[in-house]
Amino acid sequence: MTMISEPDVPAIELGHRETVPGKPSRARMIGVIAVGAVLVTAVNVTAAVYLYRGVDDLRTMEARLGELGQFEQRIGARIDTVNNGFQSRFEALDRQLQANFGQINGNVARLEQGQPVAASEPALGAPEPAITDNTTVADASAADQGANAGDGQPSFKRKVAPPGPNPSYQRIQQPDGKVYYKKIN
């Protein structure tokens, strides 16, 4: 390799450099890169901590949701038990009403034939309170006191309704299990 040298040009010293205005120095560039790396590392560490906490909270919620499923099954079983109890009570009441309707229809049929209805037949349902027209509780209690004179037991006289047309009822059971009664004249 050949070197061309000009004697008039001063020699360049390699150890000493002048900085150009507007161009950062090498030390400053390394410092900026180091600060940027520290900031990125701090953001990554913070994100990792929050991610770990979020995952931990998610695991806790999944465990609680698993318990909620078991709780739901227990509540469902109890509701089914209560529903079965109510259904059996409604069925018993339905049978009792059917029996009462049958007894009433039988009594009405006997009355229509002119036969007296036996007063000694036991009532299947609970006794109903007496119905009186244009009386108050005070009037009824005064009448009871006069009639029982020291007995202490109220006596109710039942007003008998005049026989009317024989209404009959049709039992309608829907596919979902609901039972309705429709009055047929």
CA atoms within 13 A on the CB side of 36: 6
DSSP state for residue 176 in the 8-state scheme: T
DSSP state for residue 118 in the 8-state scheme: P
Domain assignment of residue 54, yes or no: yes
Domain assignment of residue 134, yes or no: no
d(Cα 161, Cα 106) in Å, to the nearest integer? 17
Amino acid code (one letter) for 31: G
Per-position pLDDT tens, the chain of length 185:
566 667 676 666 665 555 556 666 888 889 999 999 999 999 999 999 999 999 999 999 999 888 888 888 888 888 888 888 888 888 889 999 999 999 999 888 888 888 776 654 555 444 444 444 444 444 444 444 554 455 555 555 556 555 555 557 788 888 888 887 787 76
Domain assignment of residue 62, yes or no: yes
Nearest to 122 by CA among 141, 103, 109: 103
Tally of domains in the chain:
1
Domain assignment of residue 33, yes or no: yes
Give the range of the structural domain holding residue 102, as residue numbers without chain letter: 23-115
pLDDT of residue 128: 47
